[in-house]
Amino acid sequence: MIRISEQNTIKIQLKDVKVKNPPETVGIDIGQSLTKIAYSKGNEIILIMNQTSSDFSDINEYLEINKKHLNKINFTGGKAFTLYKKYSSEFETNLINEFDANRVGVDFLYEHNKNKPVPPSIVVTLGTGTSIILKTDSIKHLGGSAMGGGFFMGLIRLLFKNSIADYSEAISYASKGNRYQVDLKVDDIYHIEDNRVNKLFREFTAAALGKINNNVDVNSAKKEDIIMSLIGSIGENIGTIATL
């Protein structure tokens, strides 16, 4: 159905042949940072991710190429309204609340992999920002955090200007980094023979970038280590918020 590069594509093999999604239906989630496209092909669900373009040219091109195969488009995401309005006269379209889309997606993926319904859960969605919902028989938006991919890339731009082109390059640097060259662990503070803290607690982060403040020269700190520290700090804070 879709003529598109395999780059940034994920395929989910459907184990249960009873799970059906009409091949003429496509789901498009247009967020601030990323656009996600989902459709079914045979016994697979294909997921495609690309950066969201300001003029939506890539999505328009995709829909033009594939419009003879499409009957229905389900839109979601904060940036989806413009294209929902544009294509409503040409296709059957839905504009879906993204919290509802998250709930249905979690239901499907969990049941598909675990072969049982999702228990009451906290669902954390990390995108440009972070949303947190409580899923029971219904969903309740609990709040969220401004920490997320937008905060991460904003810091990358501020710290490294134009030397890092995009998210993929930032992640490539991070994969070579060691955050504990710049982050301060509890173990760095307490004497090795001090038994007031156990072995596990010693591994906790006491202060993100804390070693730069104390014993690492700012000019010698490596880009790779700093970016890995940012990822760790964002992840730890979101994880903590979600458990409160």
State pLDDT tens for residues 5-39.
Answer: 456 788 888 876 555 667 789 999 999 988 999 99
pLDDT at 20: 63
CATH architecture, domain defined by 149-243: 2-Layer Sandwich (3.30)
| Domain spans of the chain, in order of start | 9-102, 149-243
Give 4's pLDDT tier (boundaries 50, 70, 90): very low
The phi, psi pair for 194, rounded to 5°, reads: -80, 115
CATH architecture, domain defined by 9-102: 2-Layer Sandwich (3.30)
pLDDT at 2: 44
pLDDT at 11: 87
pLDDT at 21: 66
Interval 65-73 mean pLDDT: 90
Residues 6+ apart with CB under 8 A from 61: none
Interval 126-150 mean pLDDT: 92
Strands 25-30 and 72-76 turn out to be parallel
- The pLDDT tens digits for 94-107 are 999 998 998 888 98
- The pLDDT tens digits for 177-190 are 999 999 999 999 99
Interval 163-182 mean pLDDT: 94
Interval 102-120 mean pLDDT: 89
Domains 9-102 and 149-243 are alike in CATH topology = yes
